[in-house]
């Protein structure tokens, strides 16, 4: 029987396992380093959501808070300018362990992440994605904004946003 999914904020001891998933799921230099993952957990655990199955992390979403969102800002990935109390959230990674992909886990993770951000009073969630994932994020309720100025990893990126109306 598949164990019940459990959601929680990341803790520092999760960094190594999250890094393992990050490098197995993202190609080449698209993956964040262990240092960046540890930093994101340390600085903004409430924006670093992990999904556990039977006590093992199988996926996560991490993010930072920004008053003024500049999506092509590479330094923000190291949380330069991050403000945990800002009204806008910028997602940096959405990842599921390849062994667990295609079973709806990113959908569960995103649904939980959105609910938590809404409950925290955030106004918008922003992210950048590749061509192949635009449809996926539209399904999650994000709106296409524009092609990104970033050429991170030598790839074309697109900016997407979710705005909460309240």
Kindly state the smallest distance separating residue 140's Cβ from ligand COA, in Å.
8
Q: Is 24 in the site for ligand COA (CB under 6 A)?
A: no
- Is-contact 93 51, C-beta < 8 A? no
Q: Contact 38/54 with Cβ under 8 angstroms?
A: no
CB 46 within 8 A of CB 40: no
142 near ligand COA, judged by CB under 6 A: no
Q: Least Å distance between CB 135 and ligand COA?
A: 6
What single DSSP character describes residue 48? -
Choose, by CB under 6 A, the member of 7, 8, 20, 26 that binds ligand COA: 26
Cα–Cα distance for residue pair 135/74, rounded to 1 Å: 24
Q: Could you tell me the CA-to-CA distances from 8 to 14, 17, 161 in Å, in that order?
A: 11, 15, 24
The residue among 121 and 135 lying less far from ligand COA, judged by its C-beta, is 135
Does position 123 bind ligand COA by CB under 6 A? no
**Closest approach of Cβ 133 to ligand COA, in Å?**
5
Q: Which H or E run includes 109?
A: helix 105-119
Options 36-44, 47-55, 68-76, 125-133: segment touching ligand COA (CB under 6 A) = 125-133
144 binding ligand COA? (CB under 6 A)? no
* Total Cβ atoms within 10 A of residue 143: 11
Footprint of ligand COA (CB under 6 A): 25-26, 94-96, 101-107, 129-130, 132-133, 135-136
């Amino acid at each position: 029987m598949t164990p019940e999914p459990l959601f929680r904020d990341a803790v520092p001891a999760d960094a190594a396992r999250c890094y393992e998933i990050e490098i197995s799921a993202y190609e080449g230099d698209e993956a964040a380093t262990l240092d960046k993952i540890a930093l994101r957990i340390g600085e903004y655990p409430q924006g670093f959501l992990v999904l556990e199955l039977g006590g093992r992390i199988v996926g996560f979403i991490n993010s930072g808070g920004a008053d003024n969102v500049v999506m092509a800002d590479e330094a923000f990935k190291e949380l330069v300018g991050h403000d945990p109390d800002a009204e806008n959230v910028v997602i940096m990674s959405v990842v599921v362990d390849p062994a667990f992909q295609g079973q709806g886990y990113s959908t569960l993770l995103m649904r939980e992440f959105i609910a938590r951000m809404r409950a925290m009073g955030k106004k918008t969630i922003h992210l950048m994605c590749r061509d192949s994932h635009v449809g996926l994020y539209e399904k999650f309720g994000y709106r296409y904004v524009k092609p990104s100025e970033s050429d991170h990893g030598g790839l074309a990126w697109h900016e997407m946003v979710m705005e909460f109306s309240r």
